[in-house]
């Protein structure tokens, strides 16, 4: 039986949800409102659900969710999503013939995915694409699926035993964490990925990094770039923007697309093997290899941009990186722009909280709260100009100067 407290709680949340979605305005369609509506919908479920039922359901989901991931990962390996997306419908027999898999196995894998809504079922052994199928035939999505299933899930599984063995201490050693336990290694994840035998994992990781923001808006679309960063004089002899450890240049390309009239040099810096895979850059972008633990980026730039770099490391490693970056910055001219999660001290949304645990399991690292960011950047000798939260639940922007 539903208690009056729970009933009124659910009713209040439902009214709030209906009101937020009924208003025909720009704000009602915003990313912030979408994320808030999802949270409100979850609150309604929590109010109506009895704890004993909710926890049991969660336990079952933990037990069976990996089977869904297994089906998705297998279908990516067999190119099933692409085969289904090519035409109006595809049969299990056709998929089996084209993929080389057993038809019974195809049916069993797709039985789970049609039940979950990731593939549409049009008849006995007949399948069609929907928006989820089309999304999972995308190169960036498939890179994410491979990265998470192949590289993230084993350390997550190893986590509880690792914590028990280390007496539940917070992991901060990149050479001794759940990733190393899962893969029986004693080197950090990025050097491990750079080993020749792990080339496929390295490619998947870099593809994942291209699309790890999902549908959340790029910082250049909501942050006042021109007002905050591009005013005043610009030294044409030095780069306008250096993307430090910028992967294949996806964020740099978004900056150029948003500000096509901006002149000056643009520099992409990362490890050589990553830069070699960045093949779709315009001529105005220069590529320079860097080991940011040992080397400084190209000197004198207006903007040094670092997305999802600091969250890969504990404070000691971050301070070493920042020492090299700040040595290239020009006092009174250069900005350091960090695009990363800024966790609230209370009421943290689920996505950044989950990212924090992901960084712990993969890197023995962390997402940071505002106070942790201030402490880190102050130790690095930087002055924080401002911290800016994005619309929705994505990564924020921190602007710092010497």
**Higher-scoring residue by pLDDT: 273, 22:** 273
Q: Which of 135, 201, 288, 311 is catalytic?
A: 311
77 is annotated as an active-site residue? no
Contact 107, 35 (CB under 8 A): no
For residue 394, the SS3 value is coil
282-334 per-position pLDDT tens digit: 989 999 999 999 999 999 999 999 999 999 999 999 999 999 999 999 999 99
Mean pLDDT (the chain, rounded): 90
Token representation of residue 398: 């921190």
Distance in angstroms (rounded) separating the CA atoms of residues 234 and 302 = 7
Please give the angle made by the CA atoms of 146, 305 and 213, to the nearest 5 degrees: 35
Could you count the other beta carbons within 10 Å of the beta carbon of residue 102? Answer: 11
The answer, yes or no, to whether residue 58 has pLDDT greater than 60, is no
238-295 per-position pLDDT tens digit: 899 999 999 999 999 999 999 998 888 999 999 998 999 888 899 899 999 999 999 9
Dihedral angle over CA of 370, 375, 380, 382, nearest 10? 60
pLDDT (0 to 100) of residue 25? 66
pLDDT (0 to 100) of residue 66? 84
The answer, yes or no, to whether residue 388 has pLDDT greater than 90, is yes
Sheet holding 120-123, edge to edge: 90-91, 126-128, 120-123
pLDDT (0 to 100) of residue 210? 82
358-385 per-position pLDDT tens digit: 999 999 999 999 999 999 999 999 999 9
pLDDT (0 to 100) of residue 117? 93
């Amino acid at each position: 039986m539903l208690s009056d407290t729970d009933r009124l709680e659910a009713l209040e949340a439902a009214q709030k949800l209906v009101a937020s979605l009924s208003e025909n305005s720009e704000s009602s369609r915003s990313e912030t409102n979408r994320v808030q509506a999802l949270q409100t919908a979850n609150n309604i479920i929590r109010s109506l659900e009895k704890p004993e039922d909710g926890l049991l359901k969660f336990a079952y989901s933990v037990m069976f969710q990996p089977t869904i991931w297994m089906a998705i990962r297998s279908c990516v390996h067999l190119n099933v999503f692409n085969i289904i997306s090519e035409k109006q419908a595809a049969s299990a027999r056709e998929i089996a013939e084209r993929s080389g898999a057993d038809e019974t196995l195809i049916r069993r894998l797709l039985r789970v995915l049609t039940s979950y809504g990731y593939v549409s079922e049009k008849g006995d052994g007949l399948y069609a694409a929907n928006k989820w199928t089309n999304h999972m035939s995308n190169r960036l999505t498939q890179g994410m699926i491979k990265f998470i299933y192949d590289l993230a899930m084993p350390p997550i599984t190893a986590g509880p035993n690792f914590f028990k063995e280390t007496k539940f201490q917070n992991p901060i050693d990149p050479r001794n964490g759940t990733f190393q336990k899962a893969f029986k290694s004693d080197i950090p994840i990025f050097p491990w990925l750079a080993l020749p035998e792990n080339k496929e994992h390295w490619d998947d990781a870099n593809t994942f990094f291209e699309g790890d923001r999902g549908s959340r808006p790029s910082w250049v679309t909501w942050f006042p770039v021109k007002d905050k960063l591009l005013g005043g004089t610009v030294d044409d002899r030095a780069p306008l923007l250096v993307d430090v450890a910028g992967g294949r240049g996806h964020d740099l390309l978004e900056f150029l697309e948003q500000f096509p009239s901006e002149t000056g040099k643009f520099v992409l810096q990362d490890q050589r093997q990553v830069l070699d895979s960045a093949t779709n850059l315009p001529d105005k972008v220069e590529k320079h290899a860097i080991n940011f633990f040992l080397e400084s980026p190209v000197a004198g730039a207006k903007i040094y941009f670092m997305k999802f770099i600091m969250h890969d490391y504990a404070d000691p490693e971050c301070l070493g990186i920042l020492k090299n970056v700040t040595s290239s910055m020009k006092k009174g001219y250069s900005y350091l722009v960090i695009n990363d999660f800024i966790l609230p001290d209370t009421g943290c949304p689920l996505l950044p909280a989950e990212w924090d645990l992901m960084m712990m399991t993969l890197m023995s690292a962390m997402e940071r709260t505002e106070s942790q960011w201030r402490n880190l950047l102050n130790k690095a000798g930087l002055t924080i100009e401002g911290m800016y939260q994005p619309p929705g639940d994505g990564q924020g922007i921190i602007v710092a100067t010497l």
